[in-house]
Amino acid sequence: MTEPLLRRLHARGERLTVGALPWVAPVYRLMPQVAEVIEFPFGHGGLQFKARRRLAQQLEGRFDSAYICPNSLKSALLPFLARIPKRIGYLGEARVGLLTHRLKNPPKGKRPPMVAFYSALSGEADAAGDRPHLGLDFSEMEASLASIGLQSGGYYVLVPGAEFGPAKRWPAAHFAELAARLEAPVILLGSAKEFDLCQQIAAPVNALQPGKCQNLAGKTTLIQAFSAIAAAKSTVSNDSGLMHVAAALGVPQVAIFGSSSPLHTPPLNAKATVLWLKNDATYQPPLDCAPCFARACRLGHTRCLTDITALSVLAYL
C-alpha cells in the first residue's frame, strides 16, 4: 500500500532507500523504484532505543528527507536520531517534536483508503486514484514455482489467515467447503503460525479427494508466495497482507471482509470482487455493528463472516 507513494517520489527524481523489517523487506526489493533496502534489526515491542541509536549513527548524513509511514512514536525516532533534515509524517503518539513536516491525522471514521493516506505524504493532492503495482520477473517467477513444485495457472490459492485476529478470518470450515467444490487443485498460503489453520482446511478435503489441497503455510519464502499468487487461476483471502499482494499483482481475486472495512483497506484491483455483508442491502438483520475493527467479535456471533457462504464465493471464481 506504500508502493504508489514510492512511485510518486521516484517520478520526481528522488533516490529511494526503504527501511523495513526483515519480513517486509522482500516486498520492497520487487519495486524497481527502490534503489536500496535496509533491514531494520528490531523486533516487536518497546522503543529499543539503544539499537535505534546505533543504526541512526550509521545513517547520519546519508539522507535529505524521511517519509515516515507508520503512525508510531518509535518509527519516527530513528529519522530524528539520524538527524535527517526533513522528516514528514502524520501527527500521533506524541511525536510532534520528532517531525519537521506534520500532516493532520484524520479521525478513524474519516480516514481515506490507506493507499491515499500514504500517498499524501508526498505533498501532492491527487492521491485518491493511486493503485499499487508489483512486478515479478517472469523467469524468476517460473524458477520460484518450480522450487515449490508448482506450474503456472493450474490451481487456486486460498489465504485463510489474518494476523490481526479471528474477526477478520472467514471460518476454516467455509474455506474447506470452497476448496472441495473447486475444480482444480488448491494451494494454501500463510505464515508458519497459520499452518495448523491451513491444515484444518486441507485435512478434510484431502480425506475425500486425496492430494486436492497442498498446505504451504510457513514453507515458502515471500517471493515464492508472491509467485504462487501471480500464477494462480484466482485467489480467495481475508483482508490481509497477501490480499494486497494479489491486488498489486493484478490477479483475479475474491476478498472477504468481516470486522474491517473495504472503504479503508480495499484491494485496489480491477479484477477483485469484495464480499462484505455490511454493504449487502438484502442481508437481514443489518450488520449495525460493522465495521467494528475488533480482533474478536464482541457480540460472539461473527455473523459478518459466518453468513458468507462457500457457494456465494464460488459464484465469483
| pLDDT confidence band for 127 (50 / 70 / 90) | low
Q: How high does pLDDT run on average in the chain?
A: 93
| pLDDT confidence band for 309 (50 / 70 / 90) | very high
| pLDDT confidence band for 179 (50 / 70 / 90) | very high
Predicted pLDDT at 106: 83
Render pLDDT for 192-238 as a digit per residue (tens, 0 to 9): 999 999 999 999 999 999 999 999 999 999 889 999 999 999 999 99
Are the beta carbons of 255 and 239 closer than 8 angstroms?
Answer: yes
Q: What is the CA radius of gyration of the chain?
A: 21
Predicted pLDDT at 128: 66
Question: What domains can you pick out in the chain, each with its CATH number?
Answer: 3-129 (3.40.50.2000), 140-314 (3.40.50.2000)
- Mean pLDDT calculated for residue range 62-90: 95
Dihedral sign, CA of 210, 144, 39, 86? negative
- Mean pLDDT calculated for residue range 92-104: 91
Which positions ≥6 away from 183 have C-beta within 8 Å?
A: none
The answer, yes or no, to whether residue 249 has pLDDT greater than 90, is: yes
Q: How far apart are the first and last CA of the chain?
A: 25
- Mean pLDDT calculated for residue range 166-171: 93
Predicted pLDDT at 113: 85
Select from 288, 178, 295, 290 the least CA-distant residue to 237.
178
Alpha-carbon distance of 18 to 118, in angstroms, equals: 14
Predicted pLDDT at 245: 94
Predicted pLDDT at 62: 97
- Mean pLDDT calculated for residue range 45-61: 91
The answer, yes or no, to whether residue 46 has pLDDT greater than 90, is: no
Predicted pLDDT at 184: 96
Q: Considering the entire predicted model, what is its pTM? A: 0.86
- Mean pLDDT calculated for residue range 162-170: 89
Cell (9 digits) for 67: 517519509
